[in-house]
Amino acid sequence: MNLNRRQALALSAGALVSVAVGLGPGAAFADAAGAQKMILEFTGGKEPATGKITLTAPEIAENGNTVPISVSVESAMTEGDLVDSVLILAEGNPNPDVATFHFTAMSGVATASTRMRLAKTQNVIAVAKMADGSVFIDQREVKVTIGGCGG
């Protein structure tokens, strides 16, 4: 098949338009149900309890592009009381999975901190999975005033 210059430009323009329409302002945001599904996958279907885990996040983030968070789990980090991993989710981001931290007994403490980008005012959730199979949850609502990846 031979394409002339005009046909090649038309095909290229059509491809660009289809990509732009697919990724335009109608891009889907995550919802609470999607975040809950990720939590159930992480916990193996177990319902998380409150306690043991503490999520620290600002109540108001003046800039959604860089929101500091930290998480800590009360644990002796020994065989009988060991944190396996901690999942951080942002319910309203296009991809709610922010980070997963893995710990071992050599970690000494189950504490981690990072910065994340928030698309809008939303709940930030931390879920801790213990080596004995128990799971714990904490969440904070963070109000984003400007910036972010969605305003």
Residue 20 has pLDDT above 70, yes or no: no
Full set of structural domains in the chain with CATH: 28-144 (2.60.40.2470)
Question: With 0-12 CB in 10 A as exposed, 13-18 as middle and 19+ as buried, what is 58?
Answer: middle
Contacts of 117 (CB under 8 A, 6+ apart): 64, 65, 66, 67, 93, 148, 149
Alpha-carbon gap, residue 22 to 2, rounded angstroms: 29
User: pLDDT digits over 107-150, tens only?
Assistant: 999 999 999 999 899 999 999 999 999 999 999 999 998 754 54
Helix (H) or strand (E) holding 19: helix 5-22
User: pLDDT digits over 21-47, tens only?
Assistant: 554 444 455 577 888 999 999 999 999
**Chain-wide mean pLDDT for the chain?**
86
Please identify which residue in the block is written with the tokens 């981001």.
Answer: 93
Both tokens of residue 29?
Answer: 């945001």
Alpha-carbon gap, residue 54 to 75, rounded angstroms: 12
Give residue 41's pLDDT.
Answer: 95
Report yes or no on whether pTM surpasses 0.85: no
> What's the DSSP call for residue 81?
B
